[in-house]
């Protein structure tokens, strides 16, 4: 090789690193995929004359860069696919599972039930389901915080899962409510044994930050009938759970079709009652109150009556209780009192009227003002009105009850203690509250002439009332023998079927114009007192 050639190759070799670096600079944007065209254009302008070696080296770098770029792209895409797959799986898990307890959620439970009964053997298989609600969970949250509540939920969920058995599944429906699908091999007896184990297990103390949390559980059990649909079967399980809680909590109850029918019937009556109260379809009936000594008429007790368009006469024991539970009793009571006052304006002024106020209605703050408003609007003399209340109305707060009674008496209204003898604190009531009259409960009056124990109770009440200078009304007089016995004991007043059943307002005038001789056997004819 000549000296000139040697010099040329030496210069090429010496320039190779710089050429490699330069070509790497122009090919690097291909790898990072950023401004590759601009970089290549600037590089080409800087090197106007390229030799074959330079072109070969640049081509090699380009090939390496493109290969590396493809590799990085494929790895990035693979990681992106893996990430998306992971996110899809996570979303799928979250969509089917409760994030706190790890149990399947409501949606997944529905899917499980669909899968069970879509199996060809599913519809004929007997399966049982338990709806579970934690007892005393709210106090744990309130007293120890939500972290303690979460700990109680997780511990309870794990205990249920452990007791579910082979083939069983536990789901959290929300809040502190769970549902358990028992395994296909379990019969009713096995289900009950498992239910008892769950009750014992959940009731065990739950350690939390050095403290012991205490919750319990109630279970509603139902034999699943897929033909009735998921909504109906869950409603039945919920009804069974309600029965378990009503029975005292910490226990299980099976779905009872008869009890369910009664509950649904009660719900229908409640809906109809709301309409009846709004349209004032419930009306007052009146039962005579007489002087026992000579059977003179002194007034009437107002009794609510409801004639349902399809059910007929609904007993007051049913619709009054429903009115109390549904918050309608105040509106219903004032409606009946207003109608009774209007109708009583046509009676002789000497006749009084007794009106019963329920315990729920008595504690209402507006009771006194509402009664006063009715009396003012109707013009009924408050001195002719007696308000009857029971011991349960006043037992919780004698002081508040005394204030309300005094406010009513200030209007001129008399106050009677109803159902006397059936409560557990009658003497305390008499000592603390200013009553005008006692009413002996009908359970002691009916057949009193034949019941020695009832006679002792009635005689004791009459003696007590005499010492306190109180009138006494005996309700439930149904025979001449009972009337005769009470006359001998000098009881003040009486009422009952022996004198007359409750009658509508339009019959009062007729009763006042007749002697009622066929209604009062072996006694003087009924007449208006005075």
Give the strand pairing for 283-291 and 252-254: unpaired
Region 135-147: mean pLDDT is 89
**φ and ψ of 122, to 5 deg:** -60, -50
Closest CA to 131 of 172, 92, 85: 172
User: Strand (E) positions, 65-176?
Assistant: 128-135, 169-174
**Distance of alpha carbon 382 from alpha carbon 407, whole angstroms:** 12
User: Which H or E run contains 302?
Assistant: strand 296-308
Residue 411 confidence (pLDDT) above 80: yes
Tokens, residue 201: 């297990």
| b (16+ CB within 10 A) / e for 247-259 | eeebbbbbbeeee
pLDDT band with cut points at 50, 70 and 90 for residue 474: very high
Give the strand pairing for 206-208 and 169-174: unpaired
**Distance of alpha carbon 148 from alpha carbon 207, whole angstroms:** 10
Region 448-453: mean pLDDT is 89
User: Which H or E run contains 394?
Assistant: helix 391-394
**DSSP string over 464-510:** HHHHTT-EEEEE---SHHHHHHHHHTT--EEESTTT---EEGGGHHH
By CB neighbour count within 10 A (0-12 exposed, 13-18 middle, 19+ buried), where does 282 fall?
Answer: buried
Q: What is the CA radius of gyration of the chain?
A: 43
Q: Per CATH, the architecture of 106-255 is what? A: 2-Layer Sandwich (3.30)
**Of residues 65 and 101, more confidently modeled:** 101
Region 93-118: mean pLDDT is 83
Number of Cα atoms under 13 Å in the Cβ half of residue 91: 6
Long-range contacts of 466-471 (CB under 8 A, 24+ apart): 468/430, 470/430, 470/435, 470/436, 470/437, 470/438, 471/436, 471/437, 471/438
Share of the chain above pLDDT 70, in %: 79
pLDDT band with cut points at 50, 70 and 90 for residue 39: low
Please state which of the ranges 129-138, 394-403, 519-528 shows the lowest mean pLDDT.
519-528
User: Which H or E run contains 77?
Assistant: helix 52-96
**Distance of alpha carbon 222 from alpha carbon 241, whole angstroms:** 10
Mean of per-residue pLDDT scores for the chain: 82
Residue 125 confidence (pLDDT) above 80: no
Closest CA to 448 of 400, 489, 407: 489
Tokens, residue 188: 């009713």
Tokens, residue 53: 């070696």
By CB neighbour count within 10 A (0-12 exposed, 13-18 middle, 19+ buried), where does 212 fall?
Answer: exposed
Residue 131 confidence (pLDDT) above 60: yes
Residue 517 confidence (pLDDT) above 50: no
**Distance of alpha carbon 152 from alpha carbon 140, whole angstroms:** 8
**Distance of alpha carbon 248 from alpha carbon 236, whole angstroms:** 19
**φ and ψ of 94, to 5 deg:** -65, -35
pLDDT in the model for residue 57:
59
Residue 503 confidence (pLDDT) above 80: yes
**For the sheet containing 128-135, what is the strand order?**
169-174, 177-181, 128-135, 216-223, 252-254
**Distance of alpha carbon 147 from alpha carbon 154, whole angstroms:** 11
CATH code, 282-528: 3.20.20.450
Closest CA to 318 of 251, 269, 384, 365: 269
**φ and ψ of 357, to 5 deg:** -110, 125
**Distance of alpha carbon 376 from alpha carbon 374, whole angstroms:** 5
**Distance of alpha carbon 131 from alpha carbon 179, whole angstroms:** 5
Residue pair 172/103 in contact (Cβ under 8 Å)? The answer is: yes
| CA diameter of the chain | 162
**Of residues 314 and 18, more confidently modeled:** 314
């Amino acid at each position: 090789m000549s000296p000139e050639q040697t010099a040329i190759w030496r210069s090429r070799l010496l320039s190779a690193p710089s050429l490699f670096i330069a070509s790497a600079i122009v090919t690097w944007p291909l790898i990072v995929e950023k401004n590759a065209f601009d970089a290549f254009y600037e590089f080409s302008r800087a090197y106007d004359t390229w030799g074959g070696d330079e072109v070969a080296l640049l081509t090699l770098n380009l090939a390496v860069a493109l290969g590396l770029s493809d590799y990085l792209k494929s790895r990035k895409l693979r990681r992106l696919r893996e990430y998306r797959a992971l996110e899809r799986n996570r979303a799928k898990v979250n969509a089917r599972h409760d994030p706190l307890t790890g149990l399947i959620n409501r949606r997944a439970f529905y899917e499980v039930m669909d899968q069970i009964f879509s199996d060809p053997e599913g519809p004929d298989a007997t399966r049982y389901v338990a709806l579970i609600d934690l007892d005393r969970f709210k106090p744990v949250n309130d007293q120890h915080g939500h972290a303690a509540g979460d700990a109680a939920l997780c511990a309870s969920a794990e205990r249920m899962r452990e007791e579910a058995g082979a083939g069983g599944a536990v789901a959290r429906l929300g809040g502190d409510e769970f549902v358990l699908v028992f395994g296909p091999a379990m019969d009713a007896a096995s289900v009950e044994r498992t239910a008892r184990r769950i009750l014992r297990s959940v009731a065990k103390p739950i350690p939390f930050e050095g403290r012991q949390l205490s919750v319990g559980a109630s279970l509603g059990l139902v034999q699943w009938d897929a033909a009735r649909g998921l909504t109906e079967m869950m409603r039945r399980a919920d009804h069974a759970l309600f029965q378990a809680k009503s029975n005292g909590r910490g226990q299980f109850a099976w779905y009872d079709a008869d009890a369910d029918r009664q509950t649904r019937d009660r719900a229908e009556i409640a809906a109809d009652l709301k309409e009846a109260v709004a349209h004032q379809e419930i009306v007052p009936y009146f039962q005579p109150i007489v002087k026992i000594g000579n059977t003179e008429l002194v007034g009437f007790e107002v009794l609510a009556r409801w004639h349902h368009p399809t059910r007929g006469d609904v007993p007051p024991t049913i619709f009054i209780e429903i009115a109390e539970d549904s918050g309608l009793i105040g509106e219903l009571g004032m409606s009946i009192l207003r109608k009774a006052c209007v109708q009583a304006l046509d009676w002789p002024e000497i006749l009084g009227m007794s009106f019963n106020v329920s315990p729920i209605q008595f504690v209402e703050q507006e009771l006194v003002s509402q009664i006063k408003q009715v009396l003012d609007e109707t013009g009924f003399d408050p001195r002719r009105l007696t308000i009857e209340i029971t011991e349960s109305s006043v037992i919780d707060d004698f002081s508040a009850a005394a204030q309300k009674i005094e406010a009513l008496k200030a209007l001129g209204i008399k106050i009677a203690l109803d159902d006397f003898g059936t409560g557990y604190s009658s003497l305390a009531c008499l000592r603390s509250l200013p009553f005008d009259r006692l009413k002996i409960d009908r359970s002691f009056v009916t057949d009193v002439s034949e019941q020695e124990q009832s006679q002792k109770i009635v005689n004791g009440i009459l003696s007590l009332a005499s010492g306190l200078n109180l009138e006494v009304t005996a309700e439930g007089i149904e025979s001449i023998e009972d009337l005769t016995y009470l006359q001998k004991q000098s009881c003040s007043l009486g009422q009952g079927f022996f004198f007359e059943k409750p009658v509508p307002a339009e019959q009062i005038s007729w009763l006042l114009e007749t002697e009622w001789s066929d209604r009062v056997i072996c006694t003087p004819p009924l007449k208006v007192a005075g």
